[in-house]
Structure 1
Amino acid sequence: MPEGDTVWLAAHQLHEALAGRVLTVSDLRVPRLATVDLTGRQVLDVTPRGKHLLTRVEGGLTLHSHLRMDGSWRIFRAGERWRGGPAHQIRAVLGTADHSAVGYRLPVLELLRTGEENRIVGHLGPDLLGPDWDVATAAANLAADPSRPLREALLDQRNLAGIGNVYACELAFLAKASPWLPVGELPEGVLARLAATAHRLLEANKATHDRITTTGRGPGMPLYVYGRLGRPCARCGTLVRKRNLVENGTERPVYWCPGCQPGPGPSP
């Protein structure tokens, strides 16, 4: 699933291409929106909220999309050949005189009144890349259920919005804690520092497709544990481990260093 920085970059690119311009093409290829026509309306802005994308247009309407595991929006100049997947994977096309925004494999696409956006994103915690970011609130949310495993708490968008599986694994490493350690067993102040670190990392990575969580490790090691199964931990030299978990019907890999992330391991 894309992380909050990926969604922020997608929103930024969509906003640059569409905002302030009138739609000349509106093609929403999902059954419930098949008759919707947004042509002639000006795009007001494209705003990210956690992992949600909100494209607001004239007339008080918002096109809400979510990328989930492999959705994407691609921007093409007028006359440019579209590249992003076969035509049958296209779920939305928003075009202006200068650009086309093409949404591929979008699992969530719906049109709602802008005044009703809270119904879609109102449950989210402080957005790591949004104007509502508040480290104290995020830390308090993470600590609300002391028995909850650290990685699970980090991934809950109701606690703080924007962390995906990559950052959850990396943040557990930076906290020197097992991903399965109950948050209540972390030393005092760690959750606040972890929330602040998450904000710093997403801010540093939001304008690029290259995600880096390490410092001073050289270009060959952008991440500490994620994707490094069987390689030596940069901190202690222990081989990084991996466990695939099925969560909400989707398999996700969890990476950790058993040498410097003490605490419980995964269930057999």
Structure 2
Amino acid sequence: MPEGDTVWLTAQRLHTALAGQVLTRSDLRVPRFATADLTGRTVLDVTPRGKHLLTRVEGGLTLHSHLRMDGSWQVYGSGERWRGGPTHQIRAILGNAAHTAVGYRLPVLELLRTADEEQAVGHLGPDLLGPDWDADIAVCNLLADPARPLGEALLDQRNLAGIGNVYKSELAFLARVTPWLPVGELPAGITERLMITAHRLLEANKHSFDRRTTANTAAPTGGRRPGPRLHVYGREGMPCLRCGTLIRKADQGDGSRERPTYWCPRCQTGPTS
């Protein structure tokens, strides 16, 4: 599942290509909305809400989509070859005179009244990259279930919106605790600092598609020095950047889905399952 910064950047690209333009092509390839036609309507804006995308269209309509694990929106110029996947994976096409946005493998795609958007996103906690971000509310949400493992609590979009597997693992590393440590056992002040760090990291990475960085790679003379961009995520069997111990990987989940989790067994304290 993409992180909130990836969804934010996707929304910006869609907004740039579609907002303020009249749709000349509209094709929603899901049975429930296959007959819906948005051509002739102006796209008002494309707004991210956590990991959800809200494409608002003239006439009080919103196209709600969610990428989950495999979905993506690709933007193509007029006459440009589409490269996002085979035709049978296309779920939505929105086009104007200059650009075409194509949604591939979208597991969630629905057309609803803009006034009813809360039915789709009203359950979400404060959005790390949204105007509603409130670290205090996020902390209260996390601590409401003190027995819940940190990793699961961070992934629960009802607590705060925008964190996925990458930031879950990276934030636990930066806090020097394992993702399995119950939230209520975090050292004093750590939860508050985690929220500050989460917001800072997503803000810093929201313009960098597929170039996410959480490790300190700033060179003394400016710019970036070569090396890992992440502390632990995706680095199973590689040495920890802090202590040299080999990074470990295990699945973590609440029973509905297992999530790959990375940690350093020396730098991070707490249970590991």
Alignment partner, residue 14 of structure 2: 14
What residue in structure 2 maps to residue 154 of structure 1? 154
Deviation at 1:250, TM superposition (A): 4.3
CA distance in 1, matches of 2:107, 2:185: 37
Following the alignment from structure 1 to structure 2, what is the Cα–Cα distance between the partners of residues 110 and 227? 33
Instruction: Tell me if 1:262 matches 2:269.
Output: yes
Q: Which amino acid aligns with 1:265?
A: T
Q: Supply the RMSD in Å over aligned alpha carbons.
A: 1.2
- TM-superposition CA deviations, 1:216-268 (whole Å, max 9, x none): 474321000001111111112111000134666544211011101111111xx
Which one-letter code corresponds to 1:170 in the other structure?
A: E
Q: TM-score, normalised to structure 1's length?
A: 0.97
SS of 1:161's equivalent? coil
Secondary structure of the 2:172 match is: helix
Bigger mean CA offset, 246-255 vs 50-59: 246-255
* Cα distance in structure 1, aligned partners of 2:5 and 2:202: 5
**Deviations 1:48-70, CA, capped at 9 Å, x for gaps:** 00000000000100000000001
Residues 253, 187 of structure 1: CA spacing in aligned structure 2 closer, same or farther, 3 A cutoff? same
Q: Higher mean Cα deviation, 39-48 or 183-192? A: 183-192
**Counterpart secondary structure, 1:27:** strand
Which residue identity is paired with 2:231? Y
Give every structure 1 segment of 4 or more consecutive aligned residues whose post-TM-superposition deviation is greater than 6 Å. Answer: none
**1:240 pairs with 2:241:** no
In 2, the alpha carbon distance for the partners of 1:246 and 1:170 equals 17
- Aligned ranges 1:60-75 → 2 under 5 Å: 60-75=60-75
1:83 is paired with a residue whose SS is: coil
Instruction: Give secondary structure in 2 for the equivalent of 1:73.
Output: strand
Instruction: Say whether residues 1:224 and 2:225 are aligned partners.
Output: no
- Cα gap change, 1:248/1:36 in structure 2, threshold over 3 Å: closer, same or farther? farther
Match of 1:90 in 2: 90
What pairs up with 1:27-66 in 2 under 5 angstroms?
27-66=27-66
Instruction: Show CA shifts across 1:61-120 (max 9, x none).
Output: 000000000100000001111110000000000000000000000000000000000111
Which letter does structure 2 place at the counterpart of 1:166?
Answer: V
Deviations 1:154-213, CA, capped at 9 Å, x for gaps: 001011100001000000000100110001111111111101100000000001111000
1:215 aligns with 216
Q: Counterpart in 2 of 1:197?
A: 197
Deviates more, 1:187-196 or 1:19-28: 187-196
Aligned residue-pair number? 266
Partner Cα separation in structure 2 for residue 142 and residue 24 of structure 1: 45
CA apart distance, 1:142: 1.0
Identity in percent: 73
Unaligned 5+ runs, structure 1: none
Q: Which runs of 5+ in 2 are unaligned?
A: 219-224
Partner of residue 77, structure 2: 77
